Structure 1
Amino acid sequence: MTTSSRFSVERILAELGLTSLWTTGPDSWLVLMSRTTRMFAYGSNGIFIALYFSALGFSDFRIGAFMTLTLAGDVILTVILTLVADRIGRRNILLFGSIMMILSGLIFIYFENYWILLLASVVGIISATGGDFGPFRAIEESILSTTTSKSSKTRSDVLSWYVVTSALGSAIGTELSGRVVNWLSHKEGWNNTRAYHTMFWLYVINGTIGAICIYLMSDKTEVSTKRGNSIEDGQAEEAEGLLEDDNNGNREGGSTVNQIPLSSIQTSSIPERPTSSNGVPPALPKSGWKSKLAQISHPTRKIMYKLWFLLAVDSLADGMVGYALTTYYLAQKFGLSNGTLGDITSISYFLAAISSIAAGPLANHLGLINTMVFTHIPSSAAVLLFPAPNSLVMTIILFFIRTGLNNMDQAPRAAFIAAVVPTDELTAVNGITSMLRTLASTTGPTITGWLAGGDRFWIAYVAAGSLRLAYDFGLWALFVGMKVNQHGETG
């Protein structure tokens, strides 16, 4: 290979983020592997969970209520586990979550009683929608921000591949699930219910693989103890000065978030935590929800309050038209088989993976906010228009637009949060973010279940699409002019 061709290959690998992914180290690889296997499991059961309950004779309202209560259980788990994650160990929390995932899968294999299954999903970890709403993601993103914080380039690339690999896991899981369930249900002596039971073994196996990955992670994944987790009031006000509003409503003190490339975001954009007069870091606040929020500095909270509200709106919409409910809607409207549903959903996840690869380079050229908004608006419009066509082809095209572009805002959003949140606050912030998003999602399935029972399923998509568009335009209005100081210096 000539020097010029080698340079071209290296440049392509660097642009795609593969170089950063390779150099970041085995801890990050294990996080990505754990997430990929988990999303494989979520994809393998999320496609048929509503169909499975329908086969057991549960009403549409009960199906919607099941998904709502499962998400509520995810909220409780997320709050509790992220509150204690940095004290008792991130890996310990992730390992506990994997064990709960295994136990929940085993219960779904051996029981068909609605209340037992509901209890297992509420206190355990079952993805009722195919999405990742539990405590895993908040802690994993904190780990990735910790393990890549020494490099100005690797964090955003690794976060992008964190999204890409999870989408690939979901795609392979849904494709395999659809094919296997369709094959098993047509075997002599088998039916859909028995085939669904078999697929939950994949859930157990992947939970076990995830647990092994977590066990192999090193101490580098844990939060640093060199910095305290509180900030003095006077120093908080000084730090807030980095993000003061100017007369035009923009933020002064650094580069515009919308203009800086995704790869240039680094934790050094926020000042280091102070130490006391004797050089010892301030003591950790006592445990509890209020103390957890209190240890998040005022400049961080000032930004996150606005973002949390917008994310709650977006998550409410996603909860109303989750992928599990969407496959159920397609099965009802067009009478599609499990195999066909698996093919459609799998293709959509592959499209999401491909588009997520482009999210990093696109954000490097367009900026964080532009990438988040401009890629999400077409996806939101597709949700709004989804029930309109009577043609299966047009309906599937809208579904592909929705899912194909839906994940492109995730890596820029994670990089934005990492830019405005110090490393020792990330677990708390990501935990609250995950909790609020899941909490907002909890009411969605119940609303949709009630509408589906009254032949008003289509209203859920119109409402969800409108809410998603409100999130998009709100994100643009509130954050497009924000500036962040990348070197921790005023002026």
Structure 2
Amino acid sequence: MHLLFSFRESSKDVRLLWISVFLRMASFGLTNQVLTLFLKSLDVSETNIGLFMTLTLVGDTIISYLLTWHADKIGRRLVMIIGALMMFVSGAVFSVSSHFVVLLIAAILGVISPSGDETGPFKSVEEASIAHLTPHVHRPEVFAFYGLFATAGAAIGSLISGVTVDYCHLQLEWDLNQCYRAVFMVYTIIALLKFGVMLFLSVNCEVQFNSNDSINSASAPTTETSSLLDDSDIQEDLTQEVHNENTFGLLGLSGLSSTARFYLPKFLVIFMLDSMGYGFMPSAWVVYYFKMAFAISATGLGTLFFFTNAIDSASSLPSAYLAKTLGPTRAMVFTQAPSAVFFILISISSNYIVASTLLILHCATSTMDVVPRQVLLTSVMPSTDLTKVMGIVNVAKTFARCIGPVFTGKLAEHNHLYVGFLINGICILTADLLLGINFFHLDKDILRKQSVLI
């Protein structure tokens, strides 16, 4: 089975990066369950909670840009070590402080995730490192395991958070604010574990280390020619390329290759639209919606989101099969569209069983687009551009996600939080339509690239 073969063939560094994303997403799963409720316990209004989330995402965007754009110069390992230390400091601040501005600064610097998933620069660096360490023929499976460990971490974090809050509140008789702070203490412990793991990464992760090039050459050329397309493909729209080059030059991003400059704007429009929709109903607000609408206990919430994240985790593996069978673009569209419909239907569900079932169905399909997206980007973009391109994409997605939370806070304050589900679904369906129009034709070439025998 190729999935198991890819697992066995993965290097020590790839496996350390799997552990890294597991720990980081476990910490995000922890804080995602309590962030909104913690701020509410400090008498922060729903509107200001939305503002907090928006400002956090804006700050994360700036930090992500600075770190990912210079990660290859600073060193990928050093960036990931710094990230673990930032997480530790942030968790410590949330454990003791009640000041809105202090918490906001800590959330930005420590990448406390208001959406329950990646908002900082470290995912970009990890993905670029994995692509650098993995030949094309193994990438769908390796990225599938990366997604599996990420969502498994989020699931376990959600469950631990719910159990911790209820144990401290019901058994130890702490007030809820103290219970939420206990969760942030666990966050600091996980950050220390992540720091220790990052110390064992080798120089193979760095872009300057090219021992894997001979392996990659079995499935595709290296450096700029390692992208999927040749110059004849790019010349389909020379005028647009010149415009993109001028635009990137004005932004100071002219160091990218011609292939990256040609395709990146299209990716950005699609992924930013998708991310903007997600920003209107991030996971922290979904937790809040289920808490307020159905009066669920902390353990009940933790259990629900444990199952949704566990299903997310399980769906990562078949997504690799879909990416190799249908092609990454079709795999993304055919999984995201149903997921968006399930999410929209939650807004009209007044029964907890129905709403939670729809949420589970949404989660069963929502992350099945992650591996195909990673395959699409790493197949099209030259290897020398991967860190910067991944960083630009994730920064742009985070920036787009900044728009929604402040409006969602207003909706929550006026008891119209369900509207966030509608906006989310409509944005994702529109992004899927644009994705299909622009990139369906690449699937054939990507599948041919992956079919090279090992």
Query: How does the TM-score come out when normalised to structure 2?
Result: 0.89
Which amino acid counterpart does residue 190 of structure 2 have in structure 1? Answer: N
Specify which of 412, 422, 445 is matched with residue 452 of structure 1: 412
How far apart are residue 484 of structure 1 and its match? 4.0
Distance verdict in 2 for CA 1:289–1:100, change over 3 Å: farther
Q: Which residue identity does 2:124 align to in structure 1?
A: A
Match of 1:221?
Answer: 205
Give 1:175-324 correspondences, 5 Å limit. 175-224=159-208, 239-245=230-236, 290-291=251-252, 293-324=253-284
Q: Does 1:426 align with 2:386?
A: yes
Give 1:225 deviation, angstroms.
Answer: 6.4
Please name the residue that 1:33 is paired with. Answer: 19
Q: Give 1:471 shift.
A: 0.9
Matches within 5 A, 1:25-104: 25-104=11-90
Q: 1:356 aligns with which of 307, 316, 324?
A: 316
Of 168, 190, 205, the residue aligned with 2:152 is 168
Instruction: Give the corresponding residue for 2:104.
Output: 118
C-alpha offsets along residues 177-202 of structure 1, whole Å, 9 cap, x if unaligned? 11121111113441111111111122
Cα distance between partner residues in 1 of 2:383 and 2:259: 14
| C-alpha distance 83-183 of structure 1, shift in aligned 2 (>3 A) | same
- Report if the CA contact (8 A) 2:144-2:317 is conserved: yes
Instruction: Mark the structure with the bigger radius of gyration.
Output: 1
Instruction: Decide whether aligned partners of structure 1 residues 86 and 48 sit closer, same or farther in structure 2, where only a CA change above 3 A counts.
Output: same
Cα pair 2:128 2:387 within 8 Å, conserved: yes
More helix by share: 2
Give yes or no for the alignment of 1:463 onto 2:454.
Answer: no
SS of residue paired to 1:419: helix
SS in 2 for 1:481: helix
SS of the residue corresponding to residue 127 of structure 1 reads coil
Shift of 1:66: 0.8
Kindly provide the CA deviation profile for residues 244-287 of structure 1, in whole angstroms up to 9, marking residues without a partner as x.
Answer: 549xxxxxxxxxxxxxxxxxxxxxxxxxxxxxxxxxxxxxxxxx
Q: 1:156·1:360 contact (CA, 8 Å) conserved in 2? A: yes
Render the CA deviation track for 1:376-422: whole Å, top value 9, x for unaligned.
11110112121101111111111111112111001111011111111
Task: Determine the C-alpha separation between the residues in 1 that align with 2:166 and 2:250.
Answer: 46
Q: How many residues align?
A: 424
* Alpha-carbon contact 1:351-1:403 (below 8 Å) kept: yes
Conserved 8 A contact 2:91-2:110: no
Q: Please state how far the C-alpha of 1:324 moved relative to its aligned partner.
A: 0.8
1:158 aligns with 2:118: no
* Gaps in structure 1 of 5+ consecutive residues: 1-10, 247-287
Shift of 1:363: 2.0
Does residue 21 of structure 1 match 2:12? Answer: no
| Deviation at residue 371 of structure 1 after TM alignment | 0.9
Residues 242 and 484 of structure 1 are in contact (CA less than 8 Å); yes or no, is this contact kept in structure 2?
Answer: no
TM value normalised by structure 1: 0.83
CA contact (8 A) 2:349 2:355 kept: yes
Whole-angstrom distance in 2 between the partners of 1:172 and 1:414: 24
Segments of structure 2 that go 5 or more residues without pairing to the other structure are 214-221, 238-248, 450-454
Structure 1 CA distance for aligned equivalents of residues 194 and 43 of structure 2: 33
Opposite residue 64 of structure 2, the aligned amino acid is T
SS of alignment partner, residue 98 of structure 1? helix
Could you tell me which amino acid in structure 2 is paired with residue 393 of structure 1? I
**Alpha-carbon distance, 1:152 to partner:** 3.6
One-letter amino acid of the counterpart of residue 205, structure 1? I
Aligned residue number for residue 259 of structure 1 = none
CA drift at 1:123: 2.9
Report the Cα distance in structure 2 between the residues aligned to 1:335 and 1:189, rounded to whole angstroms.
20
Q: Identity, % of aligned pairs?
A: 29
Structure 2 CA distance for aligned equivalents of residues 289 and 438 of structure 1 = 21
